[in-house]
Amino acid sequence: MELILKNMPLFLQGLERTFVLATLTLLFSTVISAIVGVMSVTRFRILRIVALAYVEFFRGVPLIVNVLFVYFGAPLVGLSLGPFQAAIVSFTLWGSANGAEIVRGGFNSVPKHQIASAMALGLKPWEIMWFVIGPQALLPIIPPFTGLFTLLVQATSLGAIVGLTEFFRTGQIVVERVTIMTGDNPAYLIYGFVLFTYMAICSVLTSLTRWLELHIGQRRGRDVRRGPAPLLPASRTVESV
Amino acid sequence: MSDARAVVSARGLVKRYKGMCALDGVDLEIHAGEIVVIVGPSGSGKSTLIRCLNGLETIDAGSIRIDGREIPSQAREEWRLARQRIGMVFQDYSLFPHFTVLRNITLAPIRAGRLSPEEADKTARRLLERVGLGGYANAYPAELSGGQQQRVAIVRALAMAPEVMLFDEPTSALDPEMIREVLDVMRQLSSAGMTMAIVTHEMGFAREVADRIVFIDRGRIVETGAPEQFLRSPRSPRLQEFLAKIL
């Protein structure tokens, strides 16, 4: 305990880094997820293909490889990214690919007849998206997105491999330093502390989004999920064949 | 009737789904003030037909004119504007579950710039009153019965002050005791002189309100006529067979 307190300034520094890293990553990932997610459900084929390719590519790459590739590969395209930028870019690329897939799933969960009835009212395509489909897609998106958020927070620890001194790396440094100075290895203690801190951050995040989900659910949908099931009756299926 | 202007007119409609012909050369005109009821066995193409009439389905051949103006299938924007003048009610009501009844009704007229928010509000409440749902403006769709939802769906379409209303099996998804309340609202519309095309299986209702009944089978109009003649003395064997089954 004393060990941790003594190294607190260092830990706090690392924690701050982690917070900035996580906040920016979540922010960018959310925005890009929304954009790519919408792209993947538009009626424009080229946009759909681009979105699909993006999602498939980055979902298929291990995050650690992705981080290293962005860091070392950036100069190839004439960019020089520091560890911090490289980490943000690679986490965002990965997070957005996963997020876009969640957004797409949310849109697809909205029944098709909602679109038809919005069209029948003469609404513009963006109005249908914004007023009718979007809000209905939001609710089912929130829980998986919470999961993604916690994954991304955890993923920030991978910044360590490109030399970013974030929270996890700070812990590592403290362990090394103490081992050299005192000969004792406090690894179990320090990593235990690190573990609980990550866990605490993630559970705060989870409860925040749970609150949001409840709030939105109450304000907007009420019994949306339990409402009388809109029938897609046999006659319609037969008819459209 | 036939000398009145055609609000909606379809010529030689052909619609194919994966090689199957859902509509195979259908001609249909709906004149101002006229009520056309479309009947036929399931899979006959009647729903497809009515969805073509407001451009929800693209057509493979033929033409559709709204108020005398032809609108091609690919003209999305033209169709969108046309739909603001064509009300449609679906089988599965399709209210927006995340909006209150009031917002469901006022959204389109406000977005289209037809009505100011205040006017839309007033219109919606007046129409709700008329269909016996005065107290439900702030309810959510999930809190209403199927029949009530369908009445709201009708009001939602009416709020755009359409020239013609299309109904795609408006009572087929309803429990029997709720069918009447919806048909009553449609009767109100018919006595108010609304132009309507209705796909339905309610033959009693058809006989009562229709100016003309159209029988469609396998994508073709087989027979058409005034209700009495149509129901009493059907000419084609296929219609005779159909009527024998459902009456």
Is A216 or A7 the better-scoring residue by pLDDT? A7
Burial of A170 (C-beta count, 10 Å sphere; 0-12/13-18/19+):
buried
Q: Is the model more confident about A11 or about A229?
A: A11
Residue B99 belongs to a domain: no
Instruction: Give the per-residue pLDDT at B20.
Output: 84
Residues above pLDDT 70, as percent of chain B:
98
3-class SS of residue B145: coil
| The pLDDT of residue B233 is above 90 | no
Residue B147 lies in a domain: no
Q: What angle do CA A159, A161, A165 make, to 5 degrees?
A: 55
Q: Which of B87, B88, B142 sits opposite A224 (nearest CB)?
A: B142
Q: What is the pLDDT of residues B8-20, one digit of tens each?
A: 999 999 999 887 8
In a domain, B28, yes or no: yes
pLDDT tens for residues B60-109?
999 999 998 999 999 999 999 999 999 999 998 789 999 999 999 999 99
Judge whether B101 lies within some domain.
no
Residue B44 in this model has a pLDDT that exceeds 60: yes
The residue of chain A nearest to residue B145, with distances taken between CA atoms, is: A228
CATH code assigned at B18:
3.40.50.300
Alpha-carbon distances of B123 from B117, B149, B150, rounded to whole Å = 10, 18, 18
Distance CA(A233)–CA(B139), nearest Å, equals 26
CB A139 within 8 Å of CB A213:
yes
User: Which pLDDT value is given to residue B96?
Assistant: 95
Higher pLDDT, B117 or A230: B117
* Confidence band for A219, pLDDT divided at 50, 70 and 90: low
A123–B56 C-beta distance less than 8 A: no
Nearest CA-CA distance, residue A213 and chain B, Å? 14
| Mean predicted lDDT score pLDDT of chain A | 85
Number of domains in chain B: 1
Residue B133 located in a structural domain:
no
Is B113 within the bounds of a domain?
A: no
Chain B residues in contact with A236 (beta carbon < 8 A): 47, 91
A67 Cα to chain B: minimum distance (Å): 40
- Of B20, B111, B141, nearest to A227 by CB-CB distance is B141
Question: Residue A65 pLDDT > 70, yes or no?
Answer: yes
Could you tell me the pLDDT band of residue B42, with boundaries at 50, 70 and 90? Answer: confident
- Those residues whose C-beta lies under 8 Å from the C-beta of residue A8, and which sit 6 or more positions away, are none
B127, B109, B128: which is closest to B118 by C-alpha?
Answer: B109
pLDDT at A160: 87
**How much is the pLDDT for A92?**
94
Task: Report d(CA A220, CA A216) in Å as an integer.
Answer: 6
Per residue in A156-213, pLDDT (tens digit) is: 888 888 888 888 988 988 888 888 888 888 888 889 999 999 999 999 988 888 888 8
Measured between beta carbons, the chain A residues lying within 8 angstroms of B45 are 239
Window 104-123 of B, Cβ < 8 Å to A: 107-108, 111-112
Tens of pLDDT, residues B121-173: 999 999 999 999 999 999 999 999 999 999 999 999 999 999 999 999 999 98
Question: Per the domain annotation, does B109 fall within a domain?
Answer: no
Residue B36 lies in a domain: yes
Distances (CA, A) of B164 to A120, B1, B78, B184, B219: 12, 15, 17, 18, 23
- Contact flag A238-B42 (C-beta cutoff 8 Å): yes
Task: Say if B161 is an interface residue toward chain A (CB within 8 Å).
Answer: no
Instruction: Give mean pLDDT, residues B167-191.
Output: 92
Report DSSP letters for A158-218, one per residue.
GGGGGT---HHHHHHHHHHHHHHHHS---HHHHHHHHHHHHHHHHHHHHHHHHHHHHHHII
The half-sphere exposure of B106 on its side-chain side, counting CA atoms within 13 A, is 19
B149 and chain A in contact, CB less than 8 A:
yes
Domains, chain A: 2-223 (1.10.3720.10)
What average pLDDT does range A128-156 have in this prediction? 89
Q: Which two tokens mark A236?
A: 């319609």
Domain range holding B52?
A: 6-85+163-246
The whole-chain average pLDDT of chain B stands at 92
